[in-house]
Amino acid sequence: MREKLRIAIDGPAASGKGTLAKQIAKKYKLLHLDSGKLYRYLAFQVYKTKHKKINYPKLQISLKKITLKKLHNKILTTEPITKIASVISKQKKIRKMLKKIQHHLAYNPPKQFKGSVLDGRDIGTVILPDAHVKIFLTASLNVRAMRRYKQYKKSGIKTTYNKVKNDIKMRDYLDTHRKISSLKPAKDAVLLDSSFYNTKSAFVKIDKVIKERIKHIDATY
Ligand code: C5P
């Protein structure tokens, strides 16, 4: 039986992987899961506790109630949640809990989808090492900071370019230096530095890669 298509997109904060994954999902009718939102969802549960401590049994319970709709909650993108997500993501137990959900969605997307595209930090290396297509998207720190700063400005969030840049720098450090599932490209990933591309040209490049891969795999799309 032909398999459903699975695409992994990894990269550092604000590299544009989310936007790209959304576009790919739309074009190829795939379920899109922004795995960062799962970490943010758990971070939000931690944030709500009095002492901001991780309570694993409680997190398990809230994970049981998780829905894709809940991941769209705007609060998940706020600064305190972002900070907690970045810190709790180094915990082995947290990653294990979230791996299950990611697997479930990637391998069994609802019927209306022809496959799945997951974006994050460890999708190609740990979550879906057998993904049919793996992309690793980067961009320089300055470019990523400027993109994120403009997004914040557009949504009315008050901040400064330097603050955004320092936050991203810190998150990069934590993501690349943690002992497990650290941010790195899978050996078979296609690397793309989007510093000098806009979203449209980055999409065109990635789309070419996907089309080429699809020709050679036994997957439906
Ligand atoms: O992608 P996003 O910036 O929303 O992710 C929030 C945080 O979750 C990141 O800073 C990172 O530490 C963590 N994360 C992770 N592994 C993933 C996705 C996100 O550790 N696959």
C-alpha 218 – ligand 1 centre gap (Å): 31
Ligand 1 atom closest to the Cα of residue 119 is: 21
Please give the share of the chain, as a percent, with pLDDT higher than 70: 98
Mutate-to-test residue for ligand 1 from 32, 39, 144, 174, highest number of ligand atoms within 8 A of CB: 39
pLDDT of residue 92: 97
C-alpha 220 – ligand 1 centre gap (Å): 29
Which protein residue's CA is at the shortest distance from atom 12 of ligand 1?
86
**Which SS3 state, helix, strand or coil, does residue 136 take?**
strand
Residue 221 banded pLDDT, cuts 50, 70, 90: low
CB-based contacts of 64, cutoff 8 Å, min separation 6:
none
**Distance, CA of 17 to CA of 208 (rounded, Å):** 16
pLDDT surpasses 60 at 160: yes
pLDDT of residue 220: 63
Residue 29 banded pLDDT, cuts 50, 70, 90: very high
C-alpha 205 – ligand 1 centre gap (Å): 24
Ligand 1 atom closest to the Cα of residue 123 is: 21
The answer, yes or no, to whether any atom of ligand 1 lies below 6 A from the CB of 11, is: no
Per-residue pLDDT reduced to its tens digit, 179-203: 999 999 999 999 999 998 888 999 9
Q: Which CATH class is domain 5-203?
A: alpha beta
Mean of the per-residue pLDDT values for the chain?
94
Per-residue pLDDT reduced to its tens digit, 84-103: 999 999 999 999 999 999 99
Ligand 1 atom closest to the Cα of residue 122 is: 21
Residue 217 banded pLDDT, cuts 50, 70, 90: confident
Which protein residue's CA is at the shortest distance from atom 10 of ligand 1?
86
**146-to-20, 22, 37, 149, 191 alpha-carbon distances in Å:** 18, 21, 22, 5, 21
**Distance, CA of 218 to CA of 22 (rounded, Å):** 23
Residue 219 banded pLDDT, cuts 50, 70, 90: low
Which protein residue's CA is at the shortest distance from atom 2 of ligand 1?
36
Query: Secondary structure of the chain: what % helix, strand, coil (to 5)?
Result: 55, 15, 30
Phi/psi of residue 190, each to 5°?
-90, 125
Per-residue pLDDT reduced to its tens digit, 59-71: 999 999 999 999 9
